[in-house]
Structure 1
Amino acid sequence: MHSNPFVALMFITVLAFFIPIIFHRLPRVDLPIVIGEILAGVIIGKSGFDLLEMSEILDFLAEFGFAYLMFLAGLELNFELITQFSRGTSWRETVLQPLPIAIIIFLFTFLLALIGSYGLQLLGAINNPLIMGLILSTTSLGLVAPVLKGQDLLSSEYGQLLLVAASIADFATLLLLTVVITAKDQGLTQELLLIPVLLIIFGIVAVAVYSLSRINILKQIVDELSHATAQIRVRGAFSLMVVWVVLAETLGVELILGAFLAGALAKITARKSPEVAIEKLDAIGYGFFIPIFFFMVGAELDLSAIVESPDAIVLIPELLILAYLVKLVPTLLMQSKFGWRNTVAGGFLLSSRLSLIIAASALALEIGAITPAVEADIILVAVITSTASPLLFNRVYHREKLDVRRGLIIVGTDQLTELLARRINTVSPDVTVLSSSVSHYEALEQAPGHVIFADKFDAAALEQAGAAKAKSMIVLTQDYGKLCDICKLATEQYEIPMVVARVADTSFIPMLKAMGVKVVQPALATAMALEGALRYPTAFDMLSHEIPDIDIVETVLQNPAFTNTPLRRLQLPGNALILSIKRDETVIIPQGNTILNKGDHLALIGHPDAIADTMAVMAKPGGAVGHV
């Protein structure tokens, strides 16, 4: 036994360094690192070699790691996704949207978990069915999101539903656990009313923080102070977490709710911040504080309480069956939309439990709601589900084959069409020109691509041109009434992702923009081109192909192999480079630590061959990518 707390900290930090390396080398098994930390804690703790001497310093670091874990859980919430809702054309269409169905799944899950927990109470296995019901209702959002990302499902309707369901489960169980544990610990006192007060304060502060985050001067100051020794974003995140933990404890509320709400506030402020800020917070948490918490969970785990109690041994399979049953049955509501196989796969994934269930069991033990043996059983269930559930999901999930859109359609012909077709053909050879002029049609027969003659530009003509599978369309006709009809067909009936229209009459622009059409005004475009040639001559030469063997294009990232890896480790074909990244409404200047996301719009520069190869591999889901 050692009196120096640094000795205990040495054991934890050294093991925390080697565990990811060991787990990385395990063949064919993708286990969460925290499982290794818990197991290592068991080995060096009181159920193992008893090498750790508990101290106030170690207890504080573990509690801080616990709070930081809840802070990062709040940081994972996507409020835009959770609140995204629109009324459908029928009640069925409305209910099957992500938010309503996620709420129904959680309520059904909690009901089943409560029934199962009362059954366990009748068998004499537990004492508090309400807290056990909430514990069984948890889901690990921290596991659900990476698994969906690995399958390239985050942006799909299926992935969005599972993400919302996991987010609702995390937030609702955390809130209800706070209420129940506070009532159990302090009784039905006026302090219970302080929980809504905390939520009201959160709402007010969230609105204020969101408004402040949009002020350009403040954004500029924060950007300037986010480097070197200032690191203002990291300092702000830590101060935010501590303030909310102190506020929660002052109001007599569990610190987990305060830390969680602080993470949600940080998410609001970081909505348009560089990802590197969130990466730094993850690095600090998962690099030091959070491993200490999980090590201490393992170190204090009393396995002898299980071994010495036959009831505790029997409880393990009972809890495991309930853990899967309460998630699999409610997710059957998804069957009509996603089929049996993917519905079951979603149920398996939502059954994964890790951080929150361990935190909840620790709090339940602290107030005497469960015994040490039951806590040990819950942690073993967390270890099993967090290991097995992602593997079961990947095994059961069936990916539907998707039709990949490709090609450009140019509608309308004039003196610009042939030049446009030739220029675009250098980077996108699949060009179709739709012409209603006999003379233009004959002149364009020698141009690159496919030329189709049509008496009128209607749905039949667009269908013949391949609008159902086209990736983009340019509309050049000068009959603006007809142009609006074509754009409406393209965006609504054929759902073409990118539609560009040339329009000189400004009265038509609002209507076209409402359809999602990119509008080019000839006079303004000419003025911008002249200004560009004057102010940025080199860039203008590259964009106009005046510099040989240099091309600049934009592409959308679809290949998940390019995600989750810093740019400095990605090896693009040839001399291709990424100039800029557009994500949602934010333009990111790439750096070595920048991480790409699926759906990013990337501006590429390089030799035309290298650009073509890069675009091909980025647009191909599952394509290989080189790393350095």
Structure 2
Amino acid sequence: TGGTLFGVFLLAGWFGFGLLNPASQDEQIFLTLLMSAASLGIVIPALRATGRSGSRQGQLTIVTAIIAEFGSATAIVFFGVLVASGGGLRLLSVPALFATMAAVLFVMRRAAWWFPERFERLFAHDDPDELGIRASLALLFVFVGISLALGVEAILGAFLAGALFAYVFRNIEVLETRLSGFSYGFFIPVFFINVGIGFPLTQLGEPGVLARAFALIGIAVAIKVVPALLLTLRGLSVRESIGSGVLLAGQLSVIIALAEFGVELGVLDEGLEAGAILLVGVTAVLSPIVFRWLSPPVETGDARQTAAQDAA
């Protein structure tokens, strides 16, 4: 279902962004891939907050978000390599990065199997040396370095590093909490300061550019919400399906980074980049709120048990 829905996002995006009169076919392809992405950073917290992460709606939404985020990022990087190189041997850089990931995955799993006591320290909640954060950042820098060496966008290397860590080590709740605090407290504010400094505000002062930016936002939301109605075929109500679509339309900083990549490639102009930044600002705030209205919080098993004990 997740893969099918992602395919429908791509199809709807292709036709939707064709209405913007793109300057080139490359621009239309890039916009389609860019806006078909989802953000797990919005989807998972919203589902957890409403107690729906374990529900059918939650599982379908999470699977779709994973496929959309990973599929879009990978396709954009591959497309970027194709545009920048015009074909040739450089296209092998993306498969080479995945081959490197597979090799590192094999080594890490074998090491975790043979030396479990050493790897347990990575997830200890009382580790004064914070080896988990150190190891995560080391893996991040290694994959970013490999990506740059292969001529691949660094964001794909960073994404693969996180995916690799999560796949090898399954019980990482403590480390995930620490990394989230570190990221939201330091990296993301610095990133948005940099985005704010370079925000093309003068571009949005032109009526035509501003109208195109708002059209971009409208199409980006529509290509998620309308196809999400297909989830009714999997047992969700219309209200739940629309809620999932709204949540999948929410975007975070990855879209901004990929939009900057599009500007560097020359397939996006600064007006569309500004529209992508506005999209993040609007949907990051409104998507969880609208989702909570469409899919109100439900009581989890623990909450029901606590309520029953209090009543007794």
Q: Could you say whether these structures have the same fold, taking a TM-score greater than 0.5 normalized by the shorter chain as the test?
A: yes
Output the TM-score relative to the length of structure 1.
Answer: 0.46
Match of 1:514 in 2: none
Deviations 1:377-397 (A, max 9, x none): 211122112222222211122
Match of 1:335 in 2: 232
2:171 aligned counterpart, secondary structure: coil
Q: Following the alignment from structure 1 to structure 2, what is the Cα–Cα distance between the partners of residues 168 and 109?
A: 11
CA contact (8 A) 2:217 2:275 kept: no
Give 1:125 shift: 9.8
Q: Which of 169, 188, 193 pairs up with 2:87? A: 188
2:236 aligned counterpart, secondary structure: helix
Counterpart AA for 1:616: T
1:236-385 aligned at under 5 Å gives the runs: 236-273=135-172, 275-307=173-205, 309-336=206-233, 337-385=235-283
Q: Following the alignment from structure 2 to structure 1, what is the Cα–Cα distance between the partners of residues 236 and 222?
A: 19
Q: Following the alignment from structure 1 to structure 2, what is the Cα–Cα distance between the partners of residues 301 and 125?
A: 23
CA contact (8 A) 2:214 2:275 kept: no
Give 1:335 shift: 1.1
Output the TM-score relative to the length of structure 2.
Answer: 0.90
Give 1:198 shift: 1.4
Q: Following the alignment from structure 1 to structure 2, what is the Cα–Cα distance between the partners of residues 290 and 352?
A: 17
Deviations 1:576-618 (A, max 9, x none): xxxxxxxxxxxxxxxxxxxxxxxxxxxxxxxxxxxxxxx634x
CA contact (8 A) 2:94 2:152 kept: yes
2:21 aligned counterpart, secondary structure: helix
For the aligned residue pairs, the C-alpha RMSD in angstroms reads 2.5
Q: Following the alignment from structure 2 to structure 1, what is the Cα–Cα distance between the partners of residues 147 and 258?
A: 17
Give 1:338 shift: 0.8
Q: Following the alignment from structure 2 to structure 1, what is the Cα–Cα distance between the partners of residues 178 and 148?
A: 27
Match of 2:306 in 1: 616
Deviations 1:68-94 (A, max 9, x none): xxxxxxxxxxxxxxxxxxxxxxxxxxx
- How many residue pairs match? The answer is 308
Give 1:349 shift: 1.1
Change in 2 beyond 3 A, CA 1:228/1:160: closer
Q: Following the alignment from structure 2 to structure 1, what is the Cα–Cα distance between the partners of residues 75 and 265?
A: 16
1:213 aligned counterpart, secondary structure: helix
CA contact (8 A) 2:18 2:28 kept: yes
Counterpart AA for 1:145: I
Q: Which of 116, 120, 126 pairs up with 2:16? A: 116
Q: Following the alignment from structure 1 to structure 2, what is the Cα–Cα distance between the partners of residues 399 and 286?
A: 25
Give 1:210 shift: 2.8
Deviations 1:90-125 (A, max 9, x none): xxxxxxxxxxx1100000101111122222135x59
Identify, as 1 or 2, the structure richer in strand. 1
1:430-449 aligned at under 5 Å gives the runs: none
Runs of 4 or more above 4 Å deviation? 124-127, 224-229
2:251 aligned counterpart, secondary structure: coil
Deviations 1:28-48 (A, max 9, x none): xxxxxxxxxxxxxxxxxxxxx
Q: Following the alignment from structure 2 to structure 1, what is the Cα–Cα distance between the partners of residues 29 and 54?
A: 35
Whose Rg is larger? 1
Match of 1:214 in 2: 113
Give 1:279 shift: 2.2
Q: Following the alignment from structure 1 to structure 2, what is the Cα–Cα distance between the partners of residues 189 and 121?
A: 30
CA contact (8 A) 1:139 1:166 kept: yes
Which structure exhibits the higher relative contact order, with contacts defined as CA atoms closer than 8 Å and separated by 6 or more residues? 2
Change in 2 beyond 3 A, CA 1:125/1:195: closer
Q: Following the alignment from structure 1 to structure 2, what is the Cα–Cα distance between the partners of residues 125 and 146?
A: 37
Change in 2 beyond 3 A, CA 1:321/1:191: same
Give 1:363 shift: 0.9
